[in-house]
Amino acid sequence: MASDVVLVIGGGPAGLEAARGAADLGAKVVLVEERDHLGGTPVFERYAALTHGFQDAEEVMNRLAQEVTTHPNVQVKLSTRVVGCTGSKGDFHVTLTKVSDGASETVHAGAIIVATGFQHFDPGRETQVYGYYEYPDVITLADAEAMLKARKFVRPSTGLPPERVCFIQCVGSRDRQIGNEYCSKVCCGIASKQAIEIRQQVPNCKVYIFYIDMRMYGYWENEIYWPAQEQYKVNYIKGIATEIIQKGDKLLVRGEDTTLGRPMEVLMDMVILSVGMEPSKGTREVARILGLKQNKYGFIEVPHEGVDPVATSVPGIFVAGAAAGPKDLDDSMSMAGAAAMKAVAAIRRAIAVASGG
Amino acid sequence: MSIHAKQAEGPLGKERVFKRDPDLPLSEDIRDLVFELEAEGEWIVQRVPEPYVEVPRKDGRAKKVPLQHTWHHKSCGQCGHIPGYSTAIFWLHRKLGLEYDDPKDQTSCTGWNYYASATSNAAAQAAVAVRNFAAAYVTGFFPLIHCGTSYGHYKEVREELVKHPELRAQVREIMAKLGKPLVMPEEIVHYSEWVYAVRHEIAARKVYDCREIVVTVHPACHYYKLVQGDAIYDPDIYGGQRTAVVTAVAKALGAQVKDYSTWFDCCGFGFRHILVQRDFTRSFAVNRKIETMLEEAKPDVVLTHDTGCVTTLDKSQFAAQVHNKKVGVPVMSEAQFAALAMGAHPYRVCQLHWHAADYRPLLEKMGIDWKEKWQEFEEDLERIRRGEKDYLTWEDVDAEIPARHFLQVS
Amino acid sequence: MALHAPPKLERYADIPYEEKERLFQEVKADPRFPDYLYGCYECGICVAACPSARFYDFSPRKIAQTLAREDVELFFYQLNEDVWNCSQCFSCNRCPRGNSPGGLITIMREVAVRNGLRSAKEALEGYSRVIYKIMATGTQVSPDMIQADAFPDWGPVAKETADNLELWRKALPPETMHTTSTAWEVSEQTLTELYLIWHMTGVMDMIKEVDEGLHMILLDVMEELLEERGYALAE
């Protein structure tokens, strides 16, 4: 029997937007989130400003979550995991369990939208030797977000504001040795955004960005990259680092200044590793449970991404956001809208077929 | 248990311990391909003999390190110029009661020459490697490779043989002409991995207190950079982010391992440079490594685990004195240092008289009376000179300290 | 071909382009080449890790770039001027693209030797005794190479070692190490097998290209042992 329910898995930006979209189109929506809160990685990791537009991440996410939780067509299940799935397009039976007590229930859904997102690359697996697990003053983009949000951007080793900070780009991305050959898309923008925030919060701090290519497409160029250079005097140096090691109470960063063609050694108070995106544990797990094809990186495979960016290998199951690969917020939200539209169309078609229409 | 948003204090309050995510797919393991080729009848894989110790690799897998019945693939630079290096490795085996073979049916890997002059090629290098592997195989003892370059080079050869069927065919034909099977060991094992594996057994037998000894470690490029995945990385050493060999041994012995900012730099050996462009080697070794160590860590000894590194870092210091460079720190292998700590004779076993930088202050700090030991060694030399003895023998050396009971393998 | 040849390339202006192209193709034809060069986005990691880049005007990144761009003129310059500066430490193997600039240099050096380039001969001047040692004795270095006049910069230990060499070698407990002209005692059968490998893999031909004198000496030494052990060398 066909169901008129759309099941959305994941309560981050893409999942929230997909739920809102499907509900606005009149479908019944069940939104499942493993964590005890909505808002996804931006809230979980305590992001500061959103990279596009500099709005407060928590405020934006809370507003979106509010619209979803108060929507009459949406039922939100927090601290709930997907553990099993049977059936096919129009007629899925998905087993859920409560994280707290393991109590399980089954949801009958006509279509599923997977929005299980990404996780930040763990710099412990980096080919280069960046010392994240050796030195407290080496942090990641996510760590820096939390500090900037708290408006307490200080050296973890001393608690004092830094005088020299650098970003190292492409950590865990574009690396054949790690097996992540892809570009994570957002790190150039986030690093530049954070560089601006650091300059705003700690005006005496010099900020450097060591990069391979600055990928500041579209409006990121004029809204982020140029202001970072022109207004905030952030230094961009082409060439990244092979090692970070303690020297006295500073961090010695070794790289090449490729525009000069010579080895470079610079002392920093703090180093921020621009860690890329990998499929979240939830994405891997849900893909396995739903029988979705994953690409070699573990992201959910989208067979015809260029023309149908939300379809998966299983009819009736759609994907939105970074579960399908590195995405910025703009892409995630657009995908969510498309997925909502496709999912609602799928349940209506299935119901029509079932009722002989 | 519910999953809350992260705490507000960010990284300040965060305890960082690197744990490899067990769900992440691992990169290709060359050992699987080596076994596949065996199943296809391409070659024989020599198994690591039991008992072995499983040690952690960089790529998250475990590596089998044989405890005994090892075939010692000696190093030409060690045996030729710093013979206390090889002798100390053998001595450690003897003291731990572990059987080994010191073969004459062994050549150099010829990697030093290859990396210096390129007067060789992939087929010749592979043939030399597998000839030595076949020689080990017929003895039933498993190759334990003393030299970092041989170790790295053999791993490179293994990759080439696995990837290129035409190279395999060429080498198989050569081996057939020599009347030998084509053999690939299950693991390519460096002696420093063996020392790492038995470090607690060594520490349990130490007779000198090392707590006041400040050590700097130089890791060998050909050990962990040439072929990276199967070098030993231990979560307890450098947070699992740098190779653990040597450092783990010094720590197990109770010494103070201090860091310095050029830890990752090469020693400057350069293969051809050490022989015919020594200005490069000397400058690099002194300016980048020795001076930095002395300025930042003030070590009593530099420990490393490869032939070229000991030679370069030790022998480059003398000439730098005329430029008032900060030099003057002894350099030796961790095997020699471990042997010293276990009471090995500094001259009969560790053969420190072959080393250039002054090691005597280190011995004094460890509580070893080098004058008395040198006197003993002089007497050995005198007996040989007079013809009373042909050679100094293992019996002479083994007699010094009663051999402990055999190593208990858990 | 570089559109605007840098002045330094003029040094090799007399060499026909076809010859440079031939050597370039020989490098590219090495079976290892595809594993050593994928592409380069100039991150600089190889230079950052490179000891030779700190001492010479040398850049592993430029080697990779030149080969990737198929710049035959610059390749030929590097083949003659740069490759012998590499330390072959393979610190550059950390390349996130999976390149091995050091491996590319190994191949380039091999091509330089195989073709008897003058720069290769010059680079190997003074090195012949080491090639002789490894090829003829099976061990790369020997105790008797330590001589006071060869290693004055090693300080008094070189002279002391040389003066006491035989005695000090006898005072080594491992019985394989009482040798002075080899690092350890290599059995004759082992050596015979090594000689056969050199002949069967074309290494003898490479030596002939860079050092004919050395080639003749090596042939003599090898022939004697091989004949003694029942192997006739077909010329």
Other chains touching A, judged by 3 or more CB pairs under 8 Å: B, C
Q: DSSP label at A316?
A: T
Q: From the candidates B73, B74, B85, B107, which should be mutated to test the interface with C, based on the most C CB atoms within 10 A?
A: B107
Cβ proximity of B223 and B190 under 8 Å: yes
Across-strand partners of A7? A30, A112
pLDDT in tens, B395-405: 999 876 544 43
Please state the domain count of chain B.
2
In a domain, B13, yes or no: no
A58: contact with B, CB 8 A cutoff: no
Query: Is residue C135 located within the same domain as residue C199?
Result: yes
% chain A with pLDDT above 90: 96
Query: Is residue B219 located within the same domain as residue B183?
Result: no
In a domain, C235, yes or no: no
% chain C with pLDDT above 70: 96
Domain with C149, as residue range(s), is 128-228
In a domain, B393, yes or no: no
In a domain, C2, yes or no: no
- Chain A hits for C38, CB-CB cut-off 8 Å, are 176
Other chains touching B, judged by 3 or more CB pairs under 8 Å: A, C
In a domain, B5, yes or no: no
- Chain C hits for A214, CB-CB cut-off 8 Å, are none
Mean pLDDT within B332-355: 98
Q: Which of C119, C153, C174 is the last residue of a domain?
A: C119
Query: Is residue C78 located within the same domain as residue C43?
Result: yes
**How close C191 gets to chain B, by Cα (Å)?**
8
Mean pLDDT within A325-346: 97
Cβ proximity of A337 and A345 under 8 Å: no
Whether residue C2 is predicted with pLDDT greater than 80 in this model: the reply is: no
Q: Which of B167, B191, B215 is the last residue of a domain?
A: B191
In a domain, C5, yes or no: no
CATH number of the domain within which C94 lies? 1.10.1060.10
In a domain, B121, yes or no: yes
Q: Do B79 and C51 touch (CB under 8 A)?
A: no
- Model confidence at A52, pLDDT cuts 50, 70, 90, reads confident
The tokens for A281 are: 């544990």
Average pLDDT, chain B: 93
pLDDT in tens, A129-170: 999 999 999 999 999 999 999 999 999 999 999 999 999 999
Q: Which of C66, C85, C119 is the last residue of a domain?
A: C119
Query: Strand, helix or coil at A200?
Result: helix
pLDDT in tens, B99-150: 999 999 999 999 999 999 999 999 999 999 999 999 999 999 999 999 999 9
Cβ proximity of A256 and C45 under 8 Å: yes
In a domain, C1, yes or no: no
The tokens for B223 are: 């050990």
Q: From the candidates A97, A165, A247, A273, which should be mutated to test the interface with B, based on the most B CB atoms within 10 A?
A: A247
**How close B1 gets to chain C, by Cα (Å)?**
39
Please state the domain count of chain C.
2
In a domain, B294, yes or no: yes
Task: Find the closest chain B residue to A138 by CA distance.
Answer: B11
Query: Is residue B264 located within the same domain as residue B154?
Result: no
Contacts of A175 by beta carbon, 8 Å cutoff, 6+ apart: A126, A127, A181, C96
- Model confidence at B409, pLDDT cuts 50, 70, 90, reads very low
Contacts of B201 by beta carbon, 8 Å cutoff, 6+ apart: B96, B407
Q: Do B226 and C146 touch (CB under 8 A)?
A: no
C187: contact with B, CB 8 A cutoff: yes
The tokens for B321 are: 């004195």
**How close C3 gets to chain B, by Cα (Å)?**
32
Query: Is residue B235 located within the same domain as residue B169?
Result: no
pLDDT in tens, A73-102: 999 999 999 999 999 999 999 999 999 999
The number of helices, as runs of H, and strands, as runs of E, in chain A is 9, 18
**How close A258 gets to chain C, by Cα (Å)?**
6
Half-sphere exposure of A238 (CA within 13 A, CB side): 9
Q: From the candidates C37, C47, C59, which should be mutated to test the interface with A, based on the most A CB atoms within 10 A?
A: C47
**How close C14 gets to chain A, by Cα (Å)?**
29
- Strand A277-279 vs strand A118-120: parallel, antiparallel, or unpaired? antiparallel
Instruction: Look at residue C234 in the predicted model and tell me its pLDDT.
Output: 56
In a domain, B17, yes or no: no
Instruction: Look at residue A69 in the predicted model and tell me its pLDDT.
Output: 97
Whether residue B407 is predicted with pLDDT greater than 70 in this model: the reply is: no
Query: Is residue B161 located within the same domain as residue B262?
Result: no
**How close B329 gets to chain A, by Cα (Å)?**
20
d(Cα A334, Cα A326) in Å, to the nearest integer?
Answer: 14
Cβ proximity of A327 and A9 under 8 Å: no
Of A172-176, A276-280, C228-232, the poorest mean pLDDT is in C228-232
pLDDT in tens, A261-278: 999 999 999 999 999 999
pLDDT in tens, A21-44: 999 999 999 999 999 999 999 999
Query: Is residue B177 located within the same domain as residue B105?
Result: yes
d(Cα A47, Cα A149) in Å, to the nearest integer?
Answer: 6
Whole-Å CA distances, A136 to A140, A159, B261, C64: 11, 11, 16, 35
Query: Strand, helix or coil at A9?
Result: strand
pLDDT in tens, B240-268: 999 999 999 999 999 999 999 999 999 99
Query: Is residue C32 located within the same domain as residue C108?
Result: yes
Half-sphere exposure of A323 (CA within 13 A, CB side): 36
- Model confidence at C4, pLDDT cuts 50, 70, 90, reads low
CATH number of the domain within which B127 lies? 1.20.1050.140
Query: Is residue C82 located within the same domain as residue C135?
Result: no
A177: contact with C, CB 8 A cutoff: yes
d(Cα C146, Cα B81) in Å, to the nearest integer?
Answer: 8
Query: Is residue B274 located within the same domain as residue B148?
Result: no
First to last CA, chain B: 38
Q: How many residues does chain B have?
A: 410
- Model confidence at B408, pLDDT cuts 50, 70, 90, reads very low
Whether residue A51 is predicted with pLDDT greater than 90 in this model: the reply is: no
Q: Do B121 and C206 touch (CB under 8 A)?
A: yes
Q: Tell me which residue has tokens 């030299």.
A: B147
Query: Is residue B236 located within the same domain as residue B345?
Result: yes
Query: Is residue C102 located within the same domain as residue C172?
Result: no
Degrees, nearest 5: CA angle C230-C231-C235: 145
Instruction: Look at residue B7 in the predicted model and tell me its pLDDT.
Output: 59
Mean pLDDT within B367-382: 97
Domain with B368, as residue range(s), is 207-374
d(Cα A249, Cα A251) in Å, to the nearest integer?
Answer: 7
In a domain, C7, yes or no: no
- Chain A hits for C62, CB-CB cut-off 8 Å, are 261
Q: Do B178 and C138 touch (CB under 8 A)?
A: no
B16: contact with A, CB 8 A cutoff: yes
Instruction: Look at residue B405 in the predicted model and tell me its pLDDT.
Output: 37
- Chain B hits for A179, CB-CB cut-off 8 Å, are 25, 27
C207: contact with B, CB 8 A cutoff: yes
- The CA radius of gyration of chain A, in Å to the nearest whole number, is 22
First to last CA, chain A: 14
B8: contact with A, CB 8 A cutoff: yes
Query: Strand, helix or coil at A341?
Result: helix
Query: Is residue C101 located within the same domain as residue C168?
Result: no
Find, among B322, A129, B175, the residue nearest to C201 by Cα: B175
Q: Which of C98, C119, C140 is the last residue of a domain?
A: C119
Whether residue A115 is predicted with pLDDT greater than 60 in this model: the reply is: yes
In a domain, B292, yes or no: yes
Instruction: Look at residue A145 in the predicted model and tell me its pLDDT.
Output: 96
Task: Find the closest chain A residue to C62 by CA distance.
Answer: A261
Query: Is residue C109 located within the same domain as residue C78?
Result: yes
Q: Which of B122, B156, B191 is the last residue of a domain?
A: B191
Q: Which of B166, B191, B216 is the last residue of a domain?
A: B191
Query: Is residue B176 located within the same domain as residue B261?
Result: no
- Chain A hits for B25, CB-CB cut-off 8 Å, are 179, 298
Query: Is residue B180 located within the same domain as residue B278?
Result: no
Q: Do A261 and C62 touch (CB under 8 A)?
A: yes
| Sign of the torsion formed by the C-alpha atoms of B24, C45, A137 and A133 | positive
- The CA radius of gyration of chain C, in Å to the nearest whole number, is 21
CATH number of the domain within which B281 lies? 3.40.50.11810
Q: Do A261 and C50 touch (CB under 8 A)?
A: no
In a domain, C33, yes or no: yes
pLDDT in tens, B172-231: 999 999 999 999 999 999 999 999 999 999 999 999 999 999 999 999 999 999 999 999
- The CA radius of gyration of chain B, in Å to the nearest whole number, is 22
Instruction: Look at residue C213 in the predicted model and tell me its pLDDT.
Output: 94
List the domains of chain A with CATH numbers: 5-117+280-354 (3.50.50.60), 121-276 (3.50.50.60)
% chain A with pLDDT above 70: 100
A263: contact with C, CB 8 A cutoff: yes
Q: Do C87 and B381 touch (CB under 8 A)?
A: no
Q: Identify the residue with better confidence: A32 or C231.
A: A32
Query: Is residue B265 located within the same domain as residue B153?
Result: no
Query: Is residue B90 located within the same domain as residue B167?
Result: yes
Instruction: Look at residue B404 in the predicted model and tell me its pLDDT.
Output: 43
In a domain, B15, yes or no: no
Query: Is residue B125 located within the same domain as residue B273?
Result: no
